[in-house]
Amino acid sequence: MQHKIIDIEDVVIRFAGDSGDGMQLTGTLFADSSALFGNEISTFPDYPAEIRAPQGTVSGVSGFQVHIGSVEINTPGDFCDVLVAMNPAALMANAKWAKPTATIILDEDAFDEKGIQRAGFKTMNPIEELGIGDRNIIVSPITTLTKESLKDSGLDLKSIVRCKNMFTLGMCFFMFNKELDHTFEYLERKFKKKPALIETNKKVLKDGFNYASNIHAIANTYYVQPAKQEKGTYRNINGNQATAWGLLAASEKSGVPLFCGSYPITPATAILEELAIHKELKAKTLQCEDEIAGICTAIGAAYAGNFAVTTTSGPGLSLKSEALGLAMITELPLVLVDVQRSGPSTGIPTKTEQTDLNQALYGRNGECPIMVMAAHSPSDCFEKAFYAGKFAMEHMMPVILLTEGFLGNGSEPWKIPSMKDLPEIHPPFIKDASECGGKFSPFERDPETFVRRWALPGTPGLEHRVGGLEKSPAGVISSDPQNHQHMVNMRAKKVAHAAVDIPPLKVIGDESGEVLIVGWGGTFGHLYTAVKEFHKQGKSVSLAHFDYINPLPLNTEEVFSKFRKIIVCELNSGQFADYLRAKHQKFHYYQLNKVQGQPFIVKDVVDAVNNLL
Amino acid sequence: MKYTAQDFKSNQEVRWCPGCGDHSVLASLQRALPQVAEDLGYSMERFVFVSGIGCSSRLPYYMNTYGFHGIHGRATAISTGMKVANPTLSIWQATGDGDALAIGGNHFIHAIRRNIDINIVLFNNRIYGLTKGQYSPTSPLGKITKTSPYGTVEHPFNPGALVMGARGTFFARSIDSELKLNQEIFVASAKHDGCSVTEMLVNCVIYNDGSHREISDKEVKADRTIVLRHGERMIFGKDRNKGLVLVNKELKVVTIGEGGVTEDDILIHDAHTADMGMHSMLIDMKWPEYPVALGVIRDVPDKTYDDNVRDQLEEVRAKSTIHNMEELLHSGSTWEVK
């Protein structure tokens, strides 16, 4: 049968299955192929904390949503056009995300009595029970077909069944008129040492593709044109990789070797893993015995003259609090990356949130202001990590960079920047005792920037001592009341002064009007998409998204003052709104908050803003 | 350049209590470092003193070198980062029994396990001094302190046993007042490639006076301690007539000239053997059954963590096709938009 190819602007596909079904890989390969083809993409891995959660249960369902388009794409999409459900539990957990017009692909083999019961259905008819009978449902015996495809492969049954995700991927590639080449190349790389597996996986992928083209159920296939992107070289990148690369870029630009002391923690671990690869760029990584050692080795490395980094997530930030104070009072450069996850305590480790803001701003003893910045998209993690390094090294202070699980794991196409276009980084090294008349005072500062000099052990004549005890400018222990007040003031002024180097807050949309949506961090895509919808409708709604939180951009008040209403949207109970209330008291702040371990849905934002119009 | 002890003294007033054992350890370090500098060709700026929190952790302020006074328990982690960042530094860590073995116990054993090339001087006074007299992880069972008014109900650590448990490469023990021996140990620990731990039995004159008296008092010291030196016989006693022999895989104290025992029967100390058996037995020796072992008990050459980091870095760099950020940014799958 000749199928019809329909051109569409954008489409959302959600792959869902058991946590061992390989859905993350399937989704990633689909996203990468689309990106290479030139589509805009945004991805959202949504998986359980357990590596192999109880099979067939809703708690063990792992999902991966990818949004591809020929137009600008800023979110992974709220609801999906295509849902792949590898078992009844995946359908149970994800049916609510399928649009009324969605196509749903099911593995018939998994929908036996036992599977349906394990998923928690009350009847033996999940489709009727979920009330999704009007969707375009394609029921295929994917497991059986995979077994058939690979019966002569020589693989054992378990390994064969594991290939069913490739069969499914083949079907999806057909549905969206995608080439298989990219995935072939991936398989060749991945199984370089096991050539048999290359052929096996290629075969099952092709068989899935061909199967989809033969069945009548898929009458229409879809074609998403390449997006009109700016000229340049692109790659696909996720937030954690971008963070690692941004840090490496800051190391190269400053000429200061990178040291990262860290402890594995979801969802930040991938940054440490990525840095550990790049020894060729002189990056040293130390997987420590705990989170505290992570930051303390970094502080030691900073004292010795390295660009010090420690990476973590919420609970790890708690453990690092005391040492952050040490980095602050010794005025040593350090970048702490917190890939936020759902809390408090262990919370829901694999789910995203913005609930560490208060901890980043305030979570230390004593007067201890620290620069806090946030990345707003997966690829923006590169730039923010770079600037975190620049601020830390040039201003001689710790900087907290907040990202989110949603950004760290999510990926998007990225126009590769040229290293030439990144600014220089000039740490205030003191190279020689003659620069200070032979007597080095570690806490003497530049009168304008309040920044102290960085003297490295190994330099003759600059011997000095720093530490957690309050010091005089000369570096001598001091409990003098006036000196303490002075040092507290100086350290605070130094952080506040960094605002001079922060880009002004930008307004997306008109610079004055009815409603200003205010956001920070990883909600940017959803807020921006909402604002675009308002603009289509001709409504007076603008967006101001904060990448710099402490200090705030200098024009914050000016921006706020031009709108009648301000609504602060964030994935916590109102931490940034409260911070703004303290810093800019004269405005009234409406709030939109969500603490469900999930990103916003654009519709939530649109509805909340409509209530103010 | 030839240094003297005076060169290593800072202009800061030393604020330990009069009579505190820390003074002698500081003096020993200041006397040992000129020797270290001469033997290893180091100049002043290569030395860094790192510490945590506690009385002994004030030491970096009294040294005229680079110094870092950290936070409680974390000196070992700070030293580790420093050494990895700049392996040419000679890093010395002053830490106490609370700092290293209680709050910092984790970092302590892991630094030893990694064999990072730092010199840890563990001031063991078996008490918390700076917080005014609470029991520490090395306080003996039953010790009465402010937080154990009826005596502790917990067993103490033997620091040397922890070093052995983490498969350490260097362990020495001394008494604060033994300035000569201390200097000898510090020079040996500086020359040791890897993590060296020196347990200093230190007297806290205020909160735990005389804690080590049963072995450290002048009248009894020679009979109740044994100073071990590599290649020398394990002989001790004020008459130099006692020694250690091995009987049924256990150490035994014998008297030379009694029961047919001659000097040739006495064990010879081998600090450089990788085998842990004898070193563990020597570390565990307690008075009155045995003399307490002092000196360099274990000094075994092994590859250090910082060497391994450097070697791996060079190995990967030599093989890599990526040499800078620009190449990294364009590595892997990319595509052109024209």
B43, B65, B107: residue with CB nearest A293:
B107
pLDDT at A3 over 80: no
Question: What structural domains and CATH numbers belong to chain A?
Answer: 4-223 (3.40.920.10), 235-421 (3.40.50.970), 433-500 (no CATH), 507-610 (3.40.50.920)
Distance from CA of A16 to the nearest CA of B (A): 26
Q: Do A457 and B77 touch (CB under 8 A)?
A: no
Q: A470 near A349, Cβ under 8 Å?
A: no
Any A CB within 8 A of B13 CB: no
At B127-168, the pLDDT tens digits run 999 999 999 999 999 999 999 999 999 999 999 999 999 999
- B278 located within any domain: no
In whole angstroms, how far apart are CA B272 and each of A65, A497, B117, B162, B229?
60, 56, 17, 19, 11
At A545-604, the pLDDT tens digits run 999 999 999 999 999 999 999 999 999 999 999 999 999 999 999 999 999 999 999 999
Of chain B residues 95-124, which have a CB less than 8 A from chain A?
106-107, 110
pLDDT higher for A227 or A370? A370
Tell me the C-alpha distance between A283 and B317, whole Å.
11
At B233-292, the pLDDT tens digits run 999 999 999 999 999 999 999 999 999 999 999 999 999 999 999 999 999 999 999 999
pLDDT at A1 over 60: no
> Which CATH number fits the domain that encloses residue B184?
3.40.50.970
Q: Do B337 and A232 touch (CB under 8 A)?
A: yes
- B44 located within any domain: yes
Distance from CA of A42 to the nearest CA of B (A): 17
pLDDT at A169 over 60: yes
At A202-245, the pLDDT tens digits run 999 999 999 998 887 777 788 999 988 889 999 999 999 999 99
- B318 located within any domain: no
- Nearest CA to A69 out of A105, A97, A35, A98 is that of A35
- B259 located within any domain: no
pTM to 2 decimal places: 0.94
Q: A62 near A30, Cβ under 8 Å?
A: no
Q: A60 near A72, Cβ under 8 Å?
A: no
Neighbours of A5 (CB within 10 A): 11
At B204-227, the pLDDT tens digits run 999 999 999 999 999 999 999 999
Give the residue-averaged pLDDT of B317-334: 94
ipTM of the complex: 0.97
Of chain B residues 274-333, which have a CB less than 8 A from chain A?
309, 312-313, 316-317, 320, 322-326, 328-330, 332-333
- B109 located within any domain: yes
The dihedrals phi and psi of A514, each to the nearest 5 degrees, come to: -75, -65
Any B CB within 8 A of A306 CB: yes
At A11-52, the pLDDT tens digits run 999 999 998 889 999 999 999 999 988 899 999 998 887 777
pLDDT of residue B1: 72
Give the residue-averaged pLDDT of B3-9: 97
pLDDT at A74 over 70: yes
Any A CB within 8 A of B56 CB: no
SS3 state of residue A15: strand
Distance from CA of A384 to the nearest CA of B (A): 16
Q: Do A304 and B12 touch (CB under 8 A)?
A: no
- B101 located within any domain: yes
Query: Strand A10-18 vs strand A61-69: parallel, antiparallel, or unpaired?
Result: antiparallel
Give the residue-averaged pLDDT of A447-465: 97
The percentage of chain A sitting over the pLDDT mark of 70, rounded to a whole number, equals 99
Any B CB within 8 A of A419 CB: yes
Q: How many domains does chain B have?
A: 1
B46, B53, B336: residue with CB nearest A233:
B336
Any B CB within 8 A of A416 CB: yes
pLDDT of residue A2: 59
Q: Which residue of B has its CA nearest to A259?
A: B85
**CB contacts < 8 Å between A and B, how many?**
200
Query: In chain B, what residues touch A232 (CB-CB under 8 Å)?
Result: 336-337
Distance from CA of B122 to the nearest CA of A (A): 19
Query: In chain A, what residues touch B335 (CB-CB under 8 Å)?
Result: 35-36, 38, 233-235
- DSSP assignment of B109-136 equals HHHHHHT-S-EEEEEE-SEETTTTSEE-
Distance from CA of B109 to the nearest CA of A (A): 10
Torsion of CA A492, A496, A498, A499, to 10 degrees: 170
At A478-530, the pLDDT tens digits run 999 999 999 999 999 999 999 999 999 999 999 999 999 999 999 999 999 99
Domain extent, residue B150, equals: 5-211+290-305
Of chain A residues 510-569, which have a CB less than 8 A from chain B?
none
Tell me the C-alpha distance between A556 and A507, whole Å.
10
pLDDT of residue A182: 87
- B296 located within any domain: yes
At A239-290, the pLDDT tens digits run 999 999 999 999 999 999 999 999 999 999 999 999 999 999 999 999 999 9
- B230 located within any domain: no
Q: pLDDT averaged over chain A?
A: 95
Of chain A residues 465-494, which have a CB less than 8 A from chain B?
465-469, 476-477
Any A CB within 8 A of B82 CB: yes
Any A CB within 8 A of B88 CB: yes
Q: Which residue of B has its CA nearest to A247?
A: B325
Any A CB within 8 A of B248 CB: no
pLDDT of residue A263: 98
